[in-house]
Amino acid sequence: MTTKQTTKPLMDRFDFLDDAKVKVRERGEEYGSVDDNFGKIAKIWSAVLGCEVTVAQVALCMAGLKIARLTYDNGDEDGWADLAGYAACGGEVTRPDDL
């Protein structure tokens, strides 16, 4: 297995969180707000699965996807930063009525 490296090696948890913030900001510029993007994903998954999927569940499933991928390469710094980003997005979109 190869280990992916970002341009500058991340040193500690604060570096990972800073990297996640940059990634979330960039994705927002590319795909729109988290509410809109996760809302679209929830509608598509709901149609595919035949049951209602909430934006909170989208955040959990996306985090689960990153965890599954990290089992193949737990040295993937981008994967860890992405996981933190999905957690932050989940925190933003999760409301009591989404649970």
User: What DSSP letter does each residue of 63-95 carry, written as one string?
Assistant: HHHHHHHHTT-TT-HHHHHHHHHHHHHHHHH--
pLDDT at res. 95: 65
Task: Assess whether pLDDT exceeds 70 at residue 4.
Answer: no
The mean per-residue pLDDT over the stretch 66-85 comes to: 91
Contact 64/70 with Cβ under 8 angstroms?
no
Whether the CA torsion 50, 24, 18, 74 is positive or negative: it is: positive
Task: Assess whether pLDDT exceeds 50 at residue 1.
Answer: no
- pLDDT band for position 78 (50/70/90)? confident
φ/ψ of residue 69, rounded to 5: -70, -35
Tokens of 74: 């737990």
Closest CA to 62 of 45, 48, 49: 45
